[in-house]
A and B are shown apart, each in its own frame.
Chain A
Amino acid sequence: MMPLWLDLTIRVVAVVVGFLTLPLIVGQAEHKVMAHMQGRLGPMYAGGYHGWAQLVADGVKFVQKEDIAPRDADRRVFRLAPLVALFPYLLVLLAIPLGPNGLVAQPLDVGLFFVLAVLGVGVLAVLMSAWASANKYSLLGGLRGAAQLLGYELPLVLAAASVAMAAGTLSLPGIVEAWKPWWLLWQAPAAMIFFIAGLAEIRRPPFDMPIADSELVFGYMTEYTGLRFAFFLLAEYVGIVVIAALTTVLFLGGWHGPAADHLGWLWTLVKVFAVSFVIIWFRVTYPRLREDQLQRLCWLILVPLALAQLVLTAAVKIAM
């Protein structure tokens, strides 16, 4: 057995490395996939081969830029907001199991509860940046964001509760352990609801009403420059990874697949990237939902469906 401190260091470093590389891969994939879906080539220069280093170059650019806080801004809150947006996702990654036999940074008995609670912090970052920017666009974007995030939290949690009921545990590795292929059918509505609500939670198109660059400049991120803006962007891509990973773990069976004992981690990653691709695909395909359509979808469709799924899950659970 290795000493505790070494074990801890390895786990934290692994999570941080994943936290820094996975979003870059997803971001680069978004550049290229979106470009080709629109009949373009996307970045071609940075790094030499098909612009593979575009996001690295972007990062260097962001670091060089001046860090501006508006004169009327609430400086401390304004500066803190990007970190509040970014940090919860790091904590979520800690609890997501990569493979069987305890291949997880921090196995938690209440993993699902922890993950959903931490994800809810995101709304705080939106409100902080919106209010502290002292900007009309930021404020409007922030209020839209708050309404959206609070609303979609409900179907997200209900859908996750359904799968937790089915598995009989709140532990994420436990849920994957209990997962059976036929759950794909049984939990299909919950998976759809969770995925759609997750998209709204990370404010990805078609649910990017709080950002809405054609009407609100850039929503609550309007006043941000340089590294702080880069943090917000990074948070968006980590958000894709987190939502894709949670969908994978809860509904797509995580590490389950051929040779799961040895290649479990690979199966998880493959599924995460597949779901990330779908998230990018949705962004390219669908126009932005209007604010009222967005709320209607949440309260009149997703929430009742999620409740119906809960009833179904309970019924099947009792019958078995």
Chain B
Amino acid sequence: MITLRGLTKRYGETVAVDGLTCDIKAGRVTGFLGPNGAGKSTTMRMILGLDHPTRGRALIAGLPYASLRRPLRAVGAMLDARAVHPARSGRTHLVAQARANGIPVRRVDEVLEAVGLAKAARRPAGTYSLGMSGRLGVAGALLGDPPVLVLDEPVNGLDPDGVRWIRRLVRNQAAEGRTVFLSSHLMSEMQLTADHLVVIGRGRLLSDTSMAEFLAAASPASARAVVPDPGERATLVRRLMAAEGVSVGTTESGELTVEGRTAAEIGDLAHHCRVRLHRLSDVRVSLEEAYMDLTARSVEYATGGSGSTAGTPGATVAQHQGEAP
């Protein structure tokens, strides 16, 4: 478990991280979201003892990172995949890492094999593609078989196969009871990967909640239904509109868009009125929409005026219909 208590980082007048308090618990994947400059990387660096907090504490299993004797066996971290000496081979990089923490060198070859870098292991790291550097970073994080993983943008530069691999990997790690804390800008990917979300904006905690609750909070119950018979459709609309707080829209193709009712409630009502339905589904807001909605007011680097980055909740990407993670 990672514990943040009033974690604060100031750079002169600028407050990068402002009184962050939350627990990142074991056994689940916690996604770390926030706009650029919100303080995500600074927070991760403070957790890992690279940056000194101005105030507050960041603890791993109750200890500051710097007091871990063999930190790689306690925490696996990947911050900047490119921060490797370009002339050193990927394998030697990991061997040095292993020796620092008393990890047997054979473990290096195991993780290289596991991340799919075995063939490139003896090439200079400077020749690696961004995706290969990412895999080397993940190999380093896994090296000590740690109970806690901290990954900053792990899917950055990976191909679709690699993205799927990371997703399965972190979900497996969490299923084994490990703590996984990862940041990403890919909302669709985060939606498939994370169980829990920590969202910050301008260095402050905006949300610390489960994925399901986060999505539910952003979208009131709504559903779509297709009623083939015009007469029955009119009946259903009348019965739906009879209740407070329900609005119904109709498309030309005869599809109803119902706000204020779930698919289950509409299904029950249709059954009660003997109305035939051809299709019925809940409309779920995507993580991207929910996230944009939440951070619209705290985006620091919005692309001025175009509204493409923020401020227009629901402007992008269709409903989430992806596979279960």
Same complex: no
Chain B interfacial positions (CB closer than 8 Å to A): none
